[in-house]
Amino acid sequence: MNPSLLADTLPDGMFTLADHEHQAGLRLSEAVRAYFNGGAADQLTLRANTRAWQDIALLPRVMRPLASGHTRVELLGRTLAHPLLVAPMAYQALAHAMGEQATAIAAAALGTGLVLSTQSSTRLEQVARAYLPDAGRGPLWFQLYLQPDRGFLRELIQRTEAAGFEALVLTVDAPVHGARDAERRAGFELPPHVSAVNLNGMRLPPTTALQPGQSALFDGLLTHAPTWDDIAWLRSITRLPVLLKGVVHPDDARQALTCGAAGVIVSNHGGRTLDTMPATAALLPRVVQAVAGDAPVLVDGGIRRGTDVLKAMALGASAVLVGRPVLHGLANAGANGVAHVLRLLRDELEIAMALTGCRTLADAPGALWAQAHSR
């Protein structure tokens, strides 16, 4: 292992994920902060994600047997040490020179699953080599968007299979970018040394001249937007299970399973696409009910405390994905910073379980005040 990957020292005063966010804000440029932390439009959904978890109350239980408790969960045929995965996030080299490689080392060391973004600034093979050798690691998944260049996409998926990735996560909620005002105000642009290296060589679709009255969006870009029919094609070219990320409507959850999805991820893209969407904490229960235990349901968006993780599991999630806090830890101290963020969440989860009388996460539903109060 390159010693420089573990050379960063964690700054003093890092006790919470909020501390990491504050410190990262001092290190990152205004433009990069806007890219990492900003949301769409008025950022209402961005703020609602965190607030919704905070608004859910937990009810302590006392004198319950807690010895030999654990945080283990089952997910797609694997036993995970805890229900945390790193969400797919693009261009991590903006936060730290070692980018996704540092994140992978930290996630593997903490037993945390890793979902690598299509728009990673590090080659997927390099990330896999950093992550897979750790015996205690979680699952390694690859996030992708359906690209018009299907030949390139087929080759990209073949690369992920050969590198050892265990599942594909298809993002389905972003056929276009949201109106990210904060990024535009800050003048965010990728620097020359950062790019989506795994997309090198992909051919862009030919542009079609628009007729008077036509929309550049609906008659241009969206003519290549994926549909449900494309899920069958994707499944036909890979041996890996496919999860759909960005499913928030119960009917879409049922349709995803009909199309052969191995699971769904309740996500509003961290508030970065459609503003005024409900928070994922509010969306999760209806999707869980629609899936009815036929496939795992994961959730992301606004997870900032171990209590949030417990609440998500109590609402029926199979696991949670954590995004921005990982970037903050990466900016603060590389792999050591990411490891610290993940360790904080794990420790806080165990504390919350103990104080609500949950010996395992199967007991989590009983920790919710609303459910206990209704009985």
Distances (CA, A) of 73 to 19, 133, 313: 29, 21, 10
CB atoms within 10 A of CB 125: 14
**Dihedral of CA 95/101/103/106: which sign?**
negative
* DSSP H/E element including 330: helix 324-355
- Distance from C-alpha of 30 to C-alpha of 62, rounded to nearest angstrom: 47
CB atoms within 10 A of CB 68: 7
What is the DSSP track for 181-196?
A: HHHHHHT----TT---
Give the side-chain half-sphere CA count within 13 A for 56: 28
- Distance from C-alpha of 85 to C-alpha of 326, rounded to nearest angstrom: 10
340 included as an active-site residue: no
Give the side-chain half-sphere CA count within 13 A for 124: 29
- Distance from C-alpha of 198 to C-alpha of 124, rounded to nearest angstrom: 7
**CA 100, 106, 108: angle at the middle one, nearest 5?**
100
- Which of helix, strand or coil describes residue 107? helix
Residue 352 and residue 307 in contact, taking contact as beta carbons nearer than 8 Å: yes
- The one catalytic residue among 269, 328, 340, 373: 269
Distances (CA, A) of 21 to 139, 162, 324: 26, 36, 8
What is the DSSP track for 83-102?
A: SEEEPP-S-GGGT-TTHHHH
- Distance from C-alpha of 353 to C-alpha of 349, rounded to nearest angstrom: 6
Beta-sheet pairing, 78-80 with 319-322: unpaired
Q: At what angle do helices 30-37 and 17-27 cross, to 10 degrees?
A: 140
Active-site residue list: 269
